[in-house]
Amino acid sequence: MPTAILVHGGAGAIFPDDRAHACARGCLEAARAGHRILAAGGTAIDAAVAACVALEDDPSFNAGTGSTLNADGEVEMDACLMDGASLRAGAVAALSGVRNPILVARLVMERSSHVLLAGDGAARFARAHGVAPWPSALLVTERALERWRKEREGGSCAAAEPWQPTPGTVGAVALDARGHVAAATSTGGILCKLPGRVGDSPIPGAGTYADDGAGAVSATGHGEAILRVVLAKHVTDRLAAGMTAQAAAESGVRELARVGGEGGVIVVDRHGGLGMATNAPRMSRAWIDASGSEGCAFEA
């Protein structure tokens, strides 16, 4: 079987150009991290997680280090991992005090009977399974703090204000040599969100989905809109019906537009075909395809 990996670093108004280039380069390094695992015979799960960890550790993105701040000026992160072989999934929501939420999501999948843990319960589960505490202050970058201060001073950190998608959610989809697929997604969520808000990223079928019979999908963008159209499952169903990865991704974006949502998706099908589509101004992504060719881009 061929192997392939595709990662994204969020969709939206990724400006100026130097930031967009940095995001594309960060995506490529993450794709390479995942591909090294695939090339050595590793699993799609391991590859997707490794890519996601690399993106969470890169302060260019809105996930892990660099996450946006909620209305109270705190970090609350969401993440999900799904295994296409078993349809198992693990997710965390509104999680603080860890460096890599995708690793806690994996623990939920592999060491619990649950799919989703949130807030303090997710943090307690992480500690019980050996995840070291990580001060939230170490996740806050100067850029994220400056943006939060600007929004608060402008009066936008209020429940009455309409939330706009915050670029930088990260995700990875992978196919391994055994024919298994996996998807991983991680985010800090929307800037100035209400405390406790949960977006699409940790919800299987909305922001993340994987099924060996079809492929794997990771979404990014306006979480409320993505939730309403169950975007990742929509795209996966199109793969199962015979669409190419690219056609399925484009179908997903059209569905998202039905509810006025802005965002995008990345897709790998069960044969190693890759697809990407967005209706946002830019979407950072990188890939290494079944032939071993790699690339990165940020323009829509």
DSSP bridge pairs for 223? none
Crossing angle of helices 17-39 and 44-56, in 10° steps, is: 150
278 catalytic per annotation: no
3-state SS class at 162: coil
State how far the Cα of 266 lies from the Cα of 234, in Å rounded to an integer. Answer: 13
Full residue range of the structural domain in which residue 147 is found: 4-299
Residue 187: closest CA among 177, 175, 197: 197
The pLDDT of residue 220? 98
57-77 pLDDT per residue, tens? 999 999 999 999 999 999 999
Domain harbouring 271, CATH code:
3.60.20.30
In the block, tokens 């019980």 appear at 128
The pLDDT assigned to 162 comes to: 54
Q: pTM here?
A: 0.97
Question: Where in 64-196 does DSSP place strands (E)?
Answer: 77-83, 89-95, 116-118, 170-175, 181-187
- Active-site residue (options: 3, 68, 166, 169): 169
Q: Which residues contact 31 (CB under 8 A, 6 or more apart)?
A: 5, 6, 7, 51, 172, 286, 287, 288, 294, 296
What's the Cα-to-Cα distance from 143 to each of 16, 100, 227, rounded to whole Å? 13, 19, 28
Give me the pLDDT at residue 154, please.
82
- Under 8 Å between Cβ of 202 and 79: yes
Residue 66: left (phi > 0), alpha (psi -120 to 50), or beta? Answer: left
pLDDT, residue 108, reads: 99
Pick the closest to residue 52 from 202, 212, 184 (CA basis): 184
Render each residue's pLDDT in the chain as its tens digit; 300 residues.
Answer: 899 999 999 999 999 999 999 999 999 999 999 999 999 999 999 999 999 999 999 999 999 999 999 999 999 999 999 999 999 999 999 999 999 999 999 999 999 999 999 999 999 999 999 999 999 999 999 999 999 999 988 877 765 455 666 889 999 999 999 999 999 999 999 999 999 999 999 999 999 999 999 999 999 999 999 999 999 999 999 999 999 999 999 999 999 999 999 999 999 999 999 999 999 999 999 999 999 999 999 998
First-to-last alpha carbon distance for the chain, in angstroms, is 30
Looking at residue 163, its pLDDT comes to: 62
Domain count, the chain: 1
The torsion region of residue 270 among left (phi > 0), alpha (psi -120 to 50) and beta comes to alpha
